[in-house]
Amino acid sequence: MSAVVDVLLTRYNYVAVVVLVAAGLYLVIGDRNLVKKVIGMNLFQTGIFLFFITTAVVEGGHPPVIEEGVETYVSPLPHVLILTAIVVGVSLTAVALTLVVRIYSEYGTLRADLIAEMETDD
Amino acid sequence: MSEIASLRPLAAVLVSAVAIPLIVASHRRPNLREGWTMLAALAKVAIVASMVPGVLAGDVYVTDMGTFVAGVGFVLRADALGMLFGALASALWVITSLYSVGYMRGLDEHGQTRYFASFAASLATAIGVAFAANLVTLFIFYELLTVATYPLVAHDETAEARAAGRKYLAYTFGGGVAVLTGTVLVFWLTGTTAFTPGGIVALAEADPAIARLAFALLAAGFGVKAALMPLHSWLPDAMVAPTPVSGLLHAVAVVKSGVFGIARVALDVFGPETMRELGVGLPLAAVAAFTLLTASVIALRKDNLKRRLAYSTVSQLSYIVLGLGVLSGNAIVGGLLHIPAHAFMKLTLFFCAGAVHVETHTDDISNMAGIGRRMPLTMVAFAVASAGMAGIPLLAGFVSKWYILIGSVQSGQAVFAVALLVSGMLNIAYFWPVVYQAFFESPGDHDEKPLVESVLGGRFGPGGSEAVAADGSGDVRPDGGSGGADPLGHTDHAHHGGPPPGGWEERGWRGGESTWFMLGPILASASGAVALGVAPAVFVFLRIVRTVAENVGVIG
Amino acid sequence: MSGRTRRPYTESTVIMTTVRIIAPFVLTYGLFVMFHGADSSGGGFQGGAIVAAMVIMVAFAFGIEPTRRWFRNRIVVALATGGVLAFAFIGLGPLLLGGSFLEYATYETALGWKKASKYGIEGVELGIGAIVGGVISGLFFAIAGGFEYTEGPE
Amino acid sequence: MTDAIVLAVVFPILAAVASLLAGLRWDRSGWYVAALAAVVELGLAVSILLSVLQGGRTAYELGGFVPPAGIELVADGLSAPVLVLVATVSLAVLAYARRAGPRGNAFYTVYLLLVAGLAGVILTGDIFNMYVFLEITGLAAYALVASGDDVRSAVAALKYLLLGTIGASLFLLGAGYAYVATGTLNMVDLAARFAEVGYTSRPVLASFGLIVTGLLVKVALFPVHSWQPDAYATAPDSVSAYISALVSTVSAYVVAGSVLAVTQSELKRMLAYSSVSQFGMIVAAFALLSPTAAVGGVVHLLGHAVIKGGLFAAAGVVARQTGARTVEEYAGLASRRPVSAGLVAVLALALVGVPPAVGFVGKWYIVLGAIESGAPVVAAVILASTLLTLAYVARVIERMYFADVPAVEAGGERAAVAADGGESTAADTGVGEESPVSPAMIAVVVLAAFAAVALGFAGTAIQSLLEPTLQGVFGT
């Protein structure tokens, strides 16, 4: 029991990562509404970004901008990586939403199962 | 045993491949198209024949085209064993092309261009199989042979033909996969797949369990096309193909490529000694013996003539495999000699069946009572060939069976000799009724003797035979040219077959029964069978077989 | 698009006036962030996003069609392609001068520009800002434009 | 010249932008820009291949930073031939798309972005950079799939997008764990650092697991392969030809697909499932970790790209000529369209692996590698797959050659033109009323058929090219 509490106390950020990733995956797979799936995908990606950021933490580190008189910096690499990953995430969401809007205008519904039925009919 | 680097083996393979575009290009003018086929056939025989003296003198023609896959070259090598199958296939292709012209035009079949093009392709790959220098090249042509012959099997485009085609593809590609696995195992065990007379040395030391597995796979793979018993059922179904296809391919080229594959594996990959050590010779011979007995028994009950011939082929092929399995000098010589012997005899039988089908549309033996009157020459050739099949002396079948018998007795496996003799009797049992019915019975009641009733040499003038065919053909021209007169009105519906209402009408002995396109090849192959029997040494085949045996170091 | 005239889109005056006031400040802040990528926090992507947010805010306030007429498709494409070209040519420059792709130091060594890598990075950041700004607003107009009250697709 | 490596990635992006700009002035100039760019890309790819042949593995540091810190582009025996393949197939598909494919400039911009993404994935030496290029390829592929005009392609594109993103994000997470475990992102450095850290340490195992699952999802292996056939079948012909040949070349599939292929009636969907099966073999080949099997995997990768691309293009040609899309409608095709039927037959037999076409060569190496590394089950599965592939290929050949021509025939012809006329935008009418199939399209299919057989003889050449890289990888 103490191990779980100790993990919760000291490594809460990794727990947050797991929760986000799990929630994101569940939404993408479990939910029938297309927009909710896209939201789930976003959640999933944010979880991964959080994982990267938490690994970059250096105790007492200074934000990764060079200033005089500061020695320890938070390692900048994960931050840069996540910047690019966020850009990728945004573009994916944009393309997904465009497709959702197009599907909605054609089928009139956002429910993936109803769309599947309609597809098999025509 | 000198290796001569020459382009002739490659030329032999490519000559009919080159003919294919020409055949397809001239599809509007049938005579030109058939001309291309004949030209290719004659050219192929010329090239192959030009290599025979060299091979008999002991040297080998090689065309090396560089490495195809790491450690394995794409090499064509015309050695003695390859020459045996190559010479046979190319020689008989000439006769079969002539016969196909007669057969196709007799029935005016659809899709003749596709037929002749695929025929040329299958011969190219058959010669490729003959001259392959290693297991991989052999496998390449083995698979291409399947692809080239598939259009011929499914030629009729009826549902039955398509089903036969599917079955043929499934069986032969299944065999192909087994051969590929065996080849990979051999390559893995020994690092090479090249054929070395007397067997690849490294195989002897290789781990016996895997070597046995490799042999089993290779034998099964080639066994599909050699129609060994459990894997034979595609052959009778493939009889739905036109008869020249059944003749040349399913009696000579395709099935012989399977048997040839087993011969290569037995003589040039494993070699008799290694087979004896691994103890794989006996099971192979046992399967062959079982096949030849059961196939003959099944043949007894088949009423359709071509199906009976198909089962006879299944059993005769096992003679060859038995010869190879017995592992003694004479048996191997006998087995190899049976390849040409059986080819000539079975080709004649199929040609006769084809001629009967074209002229009288009868396929079932029960309808063939008294057909001797209608088609005397064909039925005489049929009688000669079937006698040869049974192993009657002075005919080709006897010579090779004699060698196999001595070989099996010498090597102490007399049980196979007994099996051979029993099968000989079964042969007689299923061929003689056909011959007897043709000559000594008449369609009406079975005891009237047409031979006695219609005088030898036929009668003269229109009023001659009182049973003039009532169906309006009237003028039976004595000069025998049946030409356009189409006595039975060739409507292409089901095999109603059987004699016309007034019984078989009399056709003279001078070929009035069918076009010479068909009679010529029938008589040629029948006389070939007789010549092989009367003077085997004269023909080049026995000498080739002896050189093979010497190379392998089994005799002399 | 449907050619029928509609009464001009009017938002409540409170929103329209506040947007009219704060829009320029948001734009300058966006550009500020865009310019400060090299040695201080900031960057092209965030700056571009802020500029796009401003455009969308204006669109909400003054109606999508009027804003579309102002921020026509030609500008969106120009912004996006201009940004990519800037990024590419700043990057390819050192290639011509013997360095490797995106090696700004070669500007300094070859052409003697001081603090070349700082300006190089900021040039690229500006390019990226333009791309992101153009693309996000373009996307907004594309999604919004096609499916207002009309039934069928474009 | 090492600059070619960077240009190979940057140039298509520039060309994409150029095509967008050109779109503003001349509305149908997209194809010409794309064609020019593809030719230049092919030139770059060939020059890289030549430099690899002489100089062996050539690396290129971006921005002059020393490798472990900076991003590095690497061209070696494995990536150079694949890049040349990418360039040739994109040029061939462009020729094919001249008439069959969509028209608009946006399509060609996305097309060029896809080429840039593929070049990036092939050449990158940095694991995070691989993620970025993987996403670029993915995004372009989603847009291309969605460019089909009926809405089913939009639904398929969304399904493809969701699964592809999940796959790529898992890959990113795996890269994160690798970075955490070793502190570096450069692949070569990573391999060394993994050894130091010890392969059984938890983060290393986690990173390996995540990366493999991520790629398997992207590769659409059997359990998660639902997106791929929809995407192929609904995308317009030239796009599916391209995707099947290229995007799938970069990622691989599982054998069970051929069982599904047999049940399909619509030809393109059948070919899509066959891709699922053919790539399963390639995954198995690489998973065997034996140099011969790896060679077999690469040969089969190249061979399958050529054969499957050719088959999709041929299916497109036949569809435009006769409107035949399902296997039943292929009845008697040989008598109506002998040339196209012949091409489909040759390519189909090459797919089955009839020697000497390239299908056989790849299989030979893979089976040999499987037996050498003592995996008889894999060898058996691969050999059985020949029969499985035969099952659905023989059906098509039999329908084409030995089935009688259906009665209603003329209707099919016109329907084909109308159906496909709709696909290309209104600007197409300016082209005038030629036959629906341009000579360029048939030329592409003929080229593919010829290449399928010719490549068969190039087996050893490919192996000698791969030798140095495999040496480095397997250290044998």
Predicted TM-score (pTM) of the model is 0.73
- Its CATH architecture, for the domain A2-121, is Orthogonal Bundle (1.10)
pLDDT for the residue numbered A20: 92
- Provide the pLDDT confidence category of residue B325 given band limits of 50, 70 and 90: confident
**Residue D126: inside a domain:** no
Check C101 against D62: CB less than 8 A apart: yes
The ipTM estimated for the assembled molecules is 0.68
Residue D273 scores a pLDDT above 90: no
Burial class for D28, CB neighbours closer than 10 Å (0-12, 13-18, 19+)? middle
d(CA D168, CA D213): 10
Q: Say which DSSP state D61 is in.
A: E
Check D158 against A44: CB less than 8 A apart: no
Identity of the amino acid at B288: A
Q: Which residues contact D249 (CB under 8 A, 6 or more apart)?
A: D82, D85, D86, D301, D302, D304, D305
Per-residue pLDDT tens digits for B34-54: 888 899 999 999 998 888 888
Residue D11 scores a pLDDT above 80: yes
CA proximity to B11, closest of B36, B47, B46: B47
pLDDT for the residue numbered A36: 92
Beta bridge mates, B5: B62
Rg (CA), chain C: 19
Supply the range of the domain harboring residue C124. 13-146
Selecting from A28, A55, A107 the residue whose C-beta is nearest the C-beta of D166 gives A28
Is some CB atom of chain D closer than 8 A to the CB atom of B402?
A: no
pLDDT for the residue numbered D228: 52
Is some CB atom of chain D closer than 8 A to the CB atom of B157?
A: yes
> How many domains is chain D built from?
1
Residue B475 scores a pLDDT above 70: no
DSSP for D373-416, written as a single string: TT-HHHHHHHHHHHHHHHHHHHHHHHHHHHSPPPS--HHHHHHH
**Residue C152: inside a domain:** no
Instruction: Tell me the average pLDDT across D140-151.
Output: 79
Residues C105 and C112 sit within 8 Å (Cβ to Cβ): no
Beta bridge mates, A33: A111
Check C143 against A97: CB less than 8 A apart: yes
**Residue C38: inside a domain:** yes
Q: From the candidates D2, D6, D136, D149, which should be mutated to test the interface with C, based on the most C CB atoms within 10 A?
A: D6
pLDDT for the residue numbered D81: 77
d(CA B337, CA A88): 75
DSSP for B41-72, written as a single string: HHHHHHHHHHHHHHHHTT-EEEEEEEEEETTE
DSSP strands (E only) in B209-248: none
Check B74 against D356: CB less than 8 A apart: yes
B115-119, C10-14, D36-40, D342-346: segment of lowest average pLDDT: C10-14
pLDDT for the residue numbered D221: 45
- Provide the pLDDT confidence category of residue B478 given band limits of 50, 70 and 90: very low
Per-residue pLDDT tens digits for B490-524: 333 334 567 777 677 777 777 677 777 788 888 88
Residues B226 and B319 sit within 8 Å (Cβ to Cβ): no
Q: Which residues contact D248 (CB under 8 A, 6 or more apart)?
A: D219, D228, D275, D279, D305, D308
Residue carrying structure tokens 């060569």: D361
Q: Which residues contact B365 (CB under 8 A, 6 or more apart)?
A: B303, B304, B305, B308, B433, B434, B437
Give chain D's mean pLDDT. Answer: 72
Identity of the amino acid at B377: L
How close, in Å, is residue A4 to chain D by CA atoms?
Answer: 19
pLDDT for the residue numbered D66: 65
Q: Taking CA atoms, what residue in D is nearest to C81?
A: D17
Q: From the candidates D352, D364, D365, which should be mutated to test the interface with B, based on the most B CB atoms within 10 A?
A: D364
pLDDT for the residue numbered B269: 86
Higher pLDDT, C4 or C103: C103
pLDDT for the residue numbered C25: 93
d(CA D93, CA D309): 9
DSSP strands (E only) in B70-188: 72-78
pLDDT for the residue numbered A23: 93
Strand order, beta sheet including B60-69: B3-5, B60-69, B72-78
A39-48, B147-156, B389-398, D175-184: segment of lowest average pLDDT: D175-184
Give chain B's mean pLDDT. Answer: 81
Burial class for B70, CB neighbours closer than 10 Å (0-12, 13-18, 19+)? middle
**Residue D228: inside a domain:** no
d(CA B317, CA D209): 56
Selecting from D152, D162, D185 the residue whose C-beta is nearest the C-beta of A28 gives D162
Q: Is the bond into A78 cis (omega within 30 degrees of 0)?
A: no
Selecting from D21, D24, D64 the residue whose C-beta is nearest the C-beta of C100 gives D64
How close, in Å, is residue D338 to chain B by CA atoms?
Answer: 11
Q: Taking CA atoms, what residue in D is nearest to C154?
A: D149
- Mapped onto helix, strand or coil, the DSSP state of residue A68 is coil
- Provide the pLDDT confidence category of residue D184 given band limits of 50, 70 and 90: confident
Measured on CA atoms in the order B319, B320, B321, B327, is the torsion positive or negative?
Answer: positive
Q: Which residues contact D418 (CB under 8 A, 6 or more apart)?
A: none
Per-residue pLDDT tens digits for C52-74: 999 988 888 888 888 888 877 77
- Provide the pLDDT confidence category of residue D163 given band limits of 50, 70 and 90: confident
CA proximity to B434, closest of B273, B305, B543: B305
Share of chain D above pLDDT 70, in %: 73
pLDDT for the residue numbered D198: 66
- Provide the pLDDT confidence category of residue D423 given band limits of 50, 70 and 90: very low
Residue D333 scores a pLDDT above 50: yes
Residue B449 scores a pLDDT above 60: no
Residue carrying structure tokens 């010719």: D454
- Provide the pLDDT confidence category of residue D99 given band limits of 50, 70 and 90: low
Q: Which residues contact B349 (CB under 8 A, 6 or more apart)?
A: B309, B312, B382, B385, B386, B389
Selecting from D387, D394, D401 the residue whose C-beta is nearest the C-beta of B151 gives D401
Supply the range of the domain harboring residue D305. 252-419+437-467
Rg (CA), chain D: 22
**Residue C8: inside a domain:** no
Q: How many CB atoms lie within 10 A of CB B477?
A: 12
Neighbouring chains of A at 3+ CB pairs under 8 Å are: C, D
How many pairs of residues across A and D have Cβ atoms under 8 Å apart?
Answer: 67
Residues of D near B (Cβ–Cβ under 8 Å) read 292, 295, 349, 352, 354-356, 360-361, 363-365, 367-368, 371-372, 379, 383-384, 386-387, 390, 394, 398, 401-404, 456-457, 459-460, 463
State how beta strands B3-5 and B60-69 pair: parallel
Residue A104 scores a pLDDT above 70: yes
Q: Give long-range contacts, CB 8 A cutoff, 24+ apart: D284-287.
A: D284/D255, D284/D366, D284/D370, D284/D378, D284/D381, D284/D382, D285/D362, D285/D365, D285/D366, D285/D369, D286/D252
**Residue D222: inside a domain:** no
Helix, strand, coil content of chain D in percent (nearest 5)? 80, 5, 20
Rg (CA), chain B: 23
Residue B175 scores a pLDDT above 60: yes
**Residue D348: inside a domain:** yes
Contacts of D185 in chain A (CB under 8 A): 77
Q: Taking CA atoms, what residue in D is nearest to A25?
A: D166
- Mapped onto helix, strand or coil, the DSSP state of residue B194 is strand
Check A66 against C39: CB less than 8 A apart: yes
**Residue D445: inside a domain:** yes
Residue D425 scores a pLDDT above 90: no
- Provide the pLDDT confidence category of residue C28 given band limits of 50, 70 and 90: very high
Q: Which residues contact A70 (CB under 8 A, 6 or more apart)?
A: A62
Selecting from A66, A98, A105 the residue whose C-beta is nearest the C-beta of C142 gives A98
d(CA C27, CA C52): 9
Contacts of D64 in chain C (CB under 8 A): 94, 99-100, 103, 105-106
How close, in Å, is residue D185 to chain C by CA atoms?
Answer: 19
Residue B485 scores a pLDDT above 80: no
**Residue D431: inside a domain:** no
CA proximity to B224, closest of B128, B146, B134: B146
- Provide the pLDDT confidence category of residue A46 given band limits of 50, 70 and 90: very high
Identity of the amino acid at D294: A
Instruction: Tell me the average pLDDT across A60-80.
Output: 77
Per-residue pLDDT tens digits for D67-92: 666 677 777 767 777 788 888 888 87
CA proximity to D362, closest of D339, D385, D345, D343: D385
Residue carrying structure tokens 């008449």: B442
CA proximity to D38, closest of D106, D103, D119, D140: D119
Per-residue pLDDT tens digits for D238-251: 454 544 444 343 33
Higher pLDDT, B526 or D275: B526
Per-residue pLDDT tens digits for B335-367: 888 888 888 888 889 988 888 888 888 788 877
- Provide the pLDDT confidence category of residue B481 given band limits of 50, 70 and 90: very low
Instruction: Tell me the average pLDDT across B145-154.
Output: 88
Neighbouring chains of B at 3+ CB pairs under 8 Å are: D
Residue A94 scores a pLDDT above 80: yes
